[in-house]
Amino acid sequence: MTEQRNSGDTTATHSSSSATVLGMAAYVIFPVLALVTAALGFILVLNDRLVPGLVFILIIAQIWVIGGLWAHFRRRRLTQPTEGDQRL
């Protein structure tokens, strides 16, 4: 009986730490990477390196944006209460 309780606590702790990591990635890491990549692309365009600059802005920065959206929606799905959860 205590083994079941401990495994439930481990699952809750794992879920909480995963949500924290996903939140950090979605709200800090991916947006900062997208901003830095877009700034570097803009600098490349200003220095007459048009093709690499556009690649940075249109492809690489968008990969970071998609990664941030993926982490956000994954975190939201992970933190939604299940049917068995009851809130007081």
Largest CA distance in the chain: 69
pLDDT bin (cut points 50, 70, 90) of residue 80 is: confident
Model pTM score: 0.75
Helical spans, DSSP H, in the chain: 2-24, 30-46, 50-55, 61-79
Is residue 34 a contact partner of residue 87, using CB atoms and an 8 Å limit?
A: no
- Mean pLDDT of the 7-32 span: 82
pLDDT bin (cut points 50, 70, 90) of residue 9 is: low
Is residue 32 a contact partner of residue 17, using CB atoms and an 8 Å limit?
A: no
Instruction: Report pLDDT digits (tens) over 45-72.
Output: 999 999 999 999 999 999 999 999 999 9
